[in-house]
Amino acid sequence: MKAIQTGMFAVLSAASLLAAAQPETSLNLPGPGVQQMLLGNWSTKIQYEASKEMPRGGTASGDEKWYPGPGGRSLIEEYREDGVAGDITGWGVIWWDAQAKGYHVVWCESTNPNGCAAPSGLAHWEGEQLVLVSEDGANGGKAKFKEVFSQITSSSFKQTIYLGDASGELRLLATIYATRTTAH
């Protein structure tokens, strides 16, 4: 569950089987063009909300790198954070499925005992926000997950991660504030 919690490509981290030896330089994903702005290197500050797993909440910092996958038809993210949740690394890939009219996501993370997770939901654009909502089984129950990339500009973006059970309200788990360090 933690693997899904800290990033989508997490939108984010994870890598070489899907990426060419030399990353592509252009991105050919449909959408309003905002995803092109994600390309490059980012410094991150993470704010974890108080929860049963982390009663006092806390902070972390890290970095992420976003680049096009093979043929520019996917977006790959490499992720690293260090802080209250420990040293976390991750890798993710997102790609457009024209038939399903949404983005598929795979997220791999060092804290996931299974290695990787593929949320059941598809990410899609709601205006200029990239939103993923997924409901997946965990330990015989259902967990609901929501991740939102918002306030995307050429120099920053905000990523919010929510978690809850299928019948209950989603609660804010973490907010990631990213600031561009170098362009792609």
Q: What is the pLDDT of residue 35?
A: 65
Q: Is 2-183 CATH 2.40.128.20?
A: yes
Please list the ranges in the chain whose pLDDT falls under 50: 1-24
pLDDT digits (tens, 9 = 90+) for 63-101: 999 999 988 888 999 999 999 988 999 999 999 888 998
**Could you tell me if 127 and 146 are in contact, meaning their C-beta atoms sit under 8 angstroms apart?**
no
Please name the residue that has the structure tokens 């259902």: 142
- Between CA 69 and CA 75 the distance in angstroms is 5
> Whole-model pTM?
0.80
Domain boundaries, the chain: 2-183
